């Protein structure tokens, strides 16, 4: 059979890695796909030819719109990132009858519903495995490998930068700002680290995972997002003393009332496997009703790990080129006309347990006041630590772990606690999850 001709948009870290992997493993990939796969044209405004050996052998355009108009290309790989012009380019490629492979989680999270509808109408495929957790094949696992299951919940470390920062804070006793500066120097975090440390990147990925897990439309705007910039070294220490570790998790859970989609710092028991995923690595824990818990671990970013997922998608698309579009794997796991209208719950309607840190006056009766407010709100205390005051200090840290409660109740209780004369400053609140099967 004739080789499949592919166009590549973007020759940065992932684009260069994809080109290299296709060159290096060309024979093995052809054996798996049943046909040779050739990148015959690329588009990039700026790139380093020395970092992409062999790129001089193909035409590299500056105008990506010219590439998607090339009638010879059957598949377009989009690796330029961002919302625009990626959206316009992908929609134009689809309009021209081309299949698309992308690593652009932001594009899928915000515009996936529109893109998939256009692809369905034209009978083409949009593949996006590389958009979530880099080289870990988590999309395929949930969409296909766990197709027999009702997914009950999933929880993932899906941003390596945040995980690196929290790991360094725990292992080396460093402060957030210090580790963030190193992450930027190492290239793990951008000069503007907002997407990573404030949870936006993880929220893009969780939006996609939640849709595939529960068969709901993509709803990024309803995903609760909280970053790690408020985590202090003392919180990491106290959590460890209580047998927990702090991880920045994306959590999706199906309840009787609807679907939870939330990204936030989370205390999890240190004995859990996912609690021991450190550095820039990613992991996703998925609970299915038939299979039980399954854990997926690996590199969540980087040139060749992400390229591994891009090329795997490419192979899948090539295998399906001659198949009936109606019989291909649905983009969001469920048939398009079978997506559910389950509501996505607001954070106040979520039930979870909590770690609370208060700065309380060092005098009798304070604990009774705080416990009284929690009791009136129906909040039970599971564990508590009161720290010794330092020399000359009038306030001491008071640490509490609570049983599960509706977040709305906890919000009301915290507001009352912060209003007490004996409490100095804001209450530090970190949610807790047991993540047991």
pLDDT tens, position by position, 189-209: 999 999 999 999 999 999 999
Look up tokens 């039980």; give the residue: 292
The residue ranges of every structural domain in the chain are: 4-136+303-338, 138-299, 351-432
CA–CA distance, 282 with 377 (Å, rounded to integer): 37
The span from the first CA to the last CA of the chain, in angstroms, equals 48
| pLDDT score recorded for residue 437 | 67
Q: What is the pTM of this model?
A: 0.96
Indicate if the pLDDT at residue 407 is higher than 80: yes
Indicate if the pLDDT at residue 394 is higher than 90: no
Please enumerate in sequence order all residues whose Cβ is within 8 A of that of 258, keeping only pairs 6 or more positions apart, or say none.
342, 343, 344, 345, 349
- 327 — pLDDT class (breaks 50, 70, 90): confident
* pLDDT > 70: percent of the chain: 100
Indicate if the pLDDT at residue 335 is higher than 90: yes
Superfamily of domain 4-136+303-338: NAD(P)-binding Rossmann-like Domain (3.40.50.720)
pLDDT tens, position by position, 261-283: 999 999 999 999 999 999 999 99
Active-site residue, from 105, 205, 247, 254: 205
Does 121 participate in catalysis according to the annotation? no
Q: Is 312 helix (H, G, I), strand (E, B) or coil?
A: helix
- 240 — pLDDT class (breaks 50, 70, 90): very high
The CATH code of domain 351-432 reads 3.30.70.260
Whether the upstream peptide bond of residue 85 has omega within 30° of 0, thus cis, is yes
Q: Is 185 helix (H, G, I), strand (E, B) or coil?
A: helix
Residue 268: closest CA among 156, 350, 374, 162: 156
Indicate if the pLDDT at residue 63 is higher than 70: yes
Architecture of domain 138-299: 2-Layer Sandwich (3.30)
């Amino acid at each position: 059979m004739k080789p499949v001709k592919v166009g590549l948009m973007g020759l940065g870290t992932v684009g260069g890695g994809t080109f290299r992997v296709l060159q290096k493993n060309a024979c093995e990939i052809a054996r798996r796909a049943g046909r040779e796969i050739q990148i015959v044209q690329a588009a990039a405004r700026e790139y380093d030819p020395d970092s992409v050996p062999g790129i001089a052998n193909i035409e590299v355009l500056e105008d990506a719109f010219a590439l998607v108009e090339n009638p010879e290309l059957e598949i377009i790989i989009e690796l330029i990132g961002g919302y625009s012009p990626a959206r316009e380019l992908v929609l134009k490629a689809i309009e021209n009858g081309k299949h698309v492979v992308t690593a652009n989680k932001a594009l899928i999270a915000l515009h996936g519903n529109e893109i998939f509808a256009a692809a369905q109408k034209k009978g083409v495929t949009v593949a996006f495995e590389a958009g979530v957790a880099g080289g870990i094949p988590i999309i395929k696992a949930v969409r296909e490998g766990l197709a027999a299951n009702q997914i009950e919940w999933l929880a993932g470390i899906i941003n390596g930068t945040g995980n690196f920062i929290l790991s360094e804070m725990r292992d080396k006793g460093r402060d957030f700002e210090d580790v963030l500066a190193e992450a930027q120097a190492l290239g793990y975090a951008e000069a503007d680290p907002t997407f990573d440390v404030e949870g936006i990147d993880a929220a893009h990925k969780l939006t996609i995972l939640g849709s595939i897990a529960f068969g709901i439309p993509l709803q990024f705007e309803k995903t609760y997002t909280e970053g790690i910039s408020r985590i202090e070294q003392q919180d990491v220490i106290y959590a460890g003393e209580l047998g927990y570790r702090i991880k920045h998790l994306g959590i999706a859970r199906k309840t009787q009332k609807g679907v939870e989609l939330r990204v936030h710092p989370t205390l999890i028991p240190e004995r859990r496997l996912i609690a021991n995923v450190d550095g820039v690595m990613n992991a996703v824990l998925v609970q299915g009703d038939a299979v039980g818990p399954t854990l997926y671990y690996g590199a969540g970013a980087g040139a060749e790990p992400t390229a591994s997922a891009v090329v795997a998608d490419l192979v899948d698309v090539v295998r399906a080129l001659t198949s009936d579009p109606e019989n291909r794997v649905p983009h969001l796991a469920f048939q398009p006309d079978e997506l559910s209208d389950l509501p996505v719950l607001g954070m106040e309607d979520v039930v979870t347990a909590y770690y609370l840190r208060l700065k309380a006056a060092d005098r009798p009766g304070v604990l009774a006041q705080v416990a009284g407010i929690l009791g009136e709100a129906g909040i039970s205390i599971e564990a508590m630590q009161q720290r010794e005051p330092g020399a000359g200090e009038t306030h001491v840290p008071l640490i509490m772990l609570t049983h599960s409660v509706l977040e709305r109740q906890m919000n009301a209780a915290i507001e009352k606690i912060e209003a007490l004369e004996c409490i100095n400053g804001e209450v530090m609140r970190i949610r807790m999850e047991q993540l047991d099967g």
